[in-house]
Chains A and B, each alone.
Chain A
Amino acid sequence: MEEFVNIFLMGKKYTVPSNLTIMGAMEYAGYQLVRGCGCRSGFCGACAIIYRIKGERDLKVCLACQTQVENNMYIATLPFFPLIKEIYDINEIRPTEQIMMQLYPEIYSCIGCNACTKSCTQGLNVMQYIAYAQRGEYEKCAEESFDCVMCGVCSSRCPAGISHPQVALLARRLTGKYLAPKSEHLEDRVREIENGDFEELLEGLMQKPIEELKELYNNRDIEE
């Protein structure tokens, strides 16, 4: 037997099967989604939801595609939030402390209320990653923020008007480009290829008849 629950989409009541995600429930209710639906798998951050269970005090947040409906859920979608995205040239900037000060000075106005962390749909320690960004500890900020889907919910709750996901993205790009150790083997290989080192081998393979290629493939040694 299918069980049903009542949910309230922007305040309007719909009765939907209890086993659906919020996204599935909206579609069940008849919404043809355009906004607020991207990957349907918890990666793109298009489907942020703010909700309250009737009678409960605390306001909750989640991703619509990743969360099952509950009875008496009051649901508001947050398909867009006006974040600040500063423009920079990744080749010009450096991972200095000043760069955050220049691009996202508002992070220094954080009052430590922790609302961002409490509201993160990914359960990240957002206040902590902002603290790392303030101190120019970009690798730590990058690590702490890595699973951010850039849904913007934290920013919607921040009294200091910080655009957390953009701050984190900058920290990650700085880390990836400047702070992470260089991969020598990668640089070497790129040079070897530019040199044409593998051309003969490849050309040789490309000329071979299929039967011979099959032989080679079926008997190739596989790294343990």
Chain B
Amino acid sequence: MYTQEMLDSVKKVEATRKERLGMEPRRMTAEEKETLLNRYHPDYRQENFSVLKIGPNKGDKVPDELAVLLQANSRVKDLDIDLTKIDYDTDVLIIGGGGAGASAAIEADEAGAKVMMVTKLRIGDANTMMAEGGIQAADKENDSPAIHYLDALGGGHYANDPKLLHKLVTEGPSAVKWLNDLGVMFDKAADGTMITTHGGGTSRKRMHAAKDYSGAEIMRVLRDEVINRGIPVVDFTSAVELILDEEGRAAGAVLMNMETGEYLVARAKTVIIATGGAGRLHYQGFPTSNHYGATADGLILGYRVGAELVYADTIQYHPTGVAFPEQIFGALVTEKVRSLGAMLVNADGEAFMHPLETRDVCAASIIRECKDRKKGVSTVEGSGVWLDTPMIDMIHGEGTIENRLPGMFRMYEKYDIDMRKIPILVYPTLHYQNGGLKINQEGLTDVENLYAAGEVVGGIHGRNRLMGNSLLDIIVFGRNAGKNAAKKSKTIKPGKLTLSHVEKFAKEMEDAGIKTDCVSPKLLPKYTHRKDE
């Protein structure tokens, strides 16, 4: 499968492997990291950001592609939606069928509220399903929530919201216990000790996993539980606009059937946005590891009703996306591959960095290796560096790859690449939305009765999230939002529904001189190649 040039380079990697096995590359100093990030990380490329002209974040910079959608026309702008004709009536409306949405649904149901989920594709067609590496929680003897706190804070460039971070780390162990008790099969030793590894930027081994299907295992169980509880899930149905009541509180959403295009009205006492990330906006032309529906819809929905965003300018590029073969270009190679000892090696067989630096540093370093130092290996789509996977079985014994990374192994095997024997080529891929809707400890946004949880939220992880802290956050904050939204719903008397904010927003656009044909939320990316388009 590899080209001759690649195979020649593999020889160089093999030649240095033995020597590399015994050594640990130096970690970068704080100054080195800063210089590296400034020069090479895509977040620092100012020419790809625009300043928002309207809305709660007026004056702030966000990626160009997001700016266009945040300042675009509502899908319901010129439609005459009859808000007195209510198709769904519920206490808590949950938008998004990923891990955050499902956790919220279970807790809201547990709290006795009438809950309903709507989701763009099927429940579980979500980034949660794809998480391979694992979930952090400080539950080992040598670890503590305080150490976890410091790791996440340093990794997040000290920009994390301290209260939210406090909640994340102190509720970590109980989140893992909750999942365990629902029947999630974590990797454990025979005596029940959780098998935990490092992730980039962790100072303790606190990454819990379920082989390399961690997210899938969690998602399948949560989905099953949602169904067992009889919580209605309306699939292939997207929220396209929030509905407020006369007092400006969230009171439902306009939905769109993805298959028929029909618009429907859902009324609710409280609403939870759990729509996940934005990888499919392909910021700066990057490929993405995200699922098909990751188009930042929640940010658009929230922004239009006045919810503020935080750190919407910070995106996580996962250092190790697939660079080759092109069929799976951009798909994720889990960080666990590096946790298990595989090194990042350039075309000449040199380990050019410590494999467990934080993700932003790692991504920037790979970009530097390819773009500046010209030590990448060329591929159809550009270039990449080696991730020396054969080291894993050499360190941990034969069978480790098959056992601990079955998904990864299978993915490459389909293209005749045996990652146990030959290294794989990687390049950064657009992976995670660090920023998002601002929430308080209750999970509430700036808008009354509007909650948010999961990747759509910003602040918990500061400017850079550590691996394993997102799966944790969707459980901790998903549950939290579910409980609080349920409790709040009991105090609400539904008012009159309105979409007046849509007009208001259109007026603001006009006043700011924004003219555009673009409608948002985007819902799905467009990959068709029809000649008439």
Contacts and interface: CB of A to CB of B under 8 A. Distances in A.
Interface of A: 19-21, 24, 27-28, 30-35, 37-44, 46, 66-68, 85, 87-90, 122-123, 142, 146-147, 149-150, 169, 172-177, 180-187, 189-190, 193, 198, 201-202, 205-206, 210, 213-214, 216-218, 220-223
A78 B272 CA distance: 32
Indicate the size class of the contact surface on chain B.
Answer: 35 or more
A190 B177 contact: yes
Contacts of A169: 220-221, 224
15 contacts: A20-B327, A24-B527, A31-B528, A32-B528, A40-B291, A41-B331, A46-B121, A177-B180, A186-B137, A189-B173, A193-B145, A202-B149, A214-B158, A216-B150, A217-B154
Interface of B: 30, 121-122, 124-126, 129-130, 137-142, 144-147, 149-151, 153-154, 158, 162, 166, 169-171, 173-174, 176-177, 180-186, 188-194, 198, 203-205, 211, 213, 215-217, 220-221, 224-225, 227-228, 230, 236, 258-259, 289, 291-293, 326-328, 331-332, 406-407, 410-411, 414-415, 524, 526-530
A176 B141 contact: no
A189 B145 CA distance: 10
Given A21-B327, A185-B194, A122 B292 contact: no
A176 B183 contact: yes
A223 B203 CA distance: 6
B182 A90 contact: yes
Contacts of A142: 185
B30 A218 contact: yes
Given A176-B184, A183-B180, A213 B292 contact: no
Nearest to A41: B331
A20 B170 CA distance: 46
A67 B150 CA distance: 43
A35 to B, nearest CB: 7
A85 B526 CA distance: 34
Contacts, number: 225
Mostly helix, strand, loop or mixed at chain A's interface? loop
A214 B292 contact: no
A46 B158 contact: no
Contacts of A43: 129-130, 213, 215-216, 407
B119 to A, nearest CB: 11
Contact of A198 (B144, B154, B191): B144
Nearest to B225: A90
Given A27-B528, A173-B224, A177-B180, 17 more contacts: A28-B528, A32-B526, A41-B331, A85-B227, A88-B228, A150-B220, A172-B217, A173-B183, A176-B186, A177-B182, A181-B192, A183-B180, A185-B141, A201-B146, A218-B154, A220-B147, A220-B150
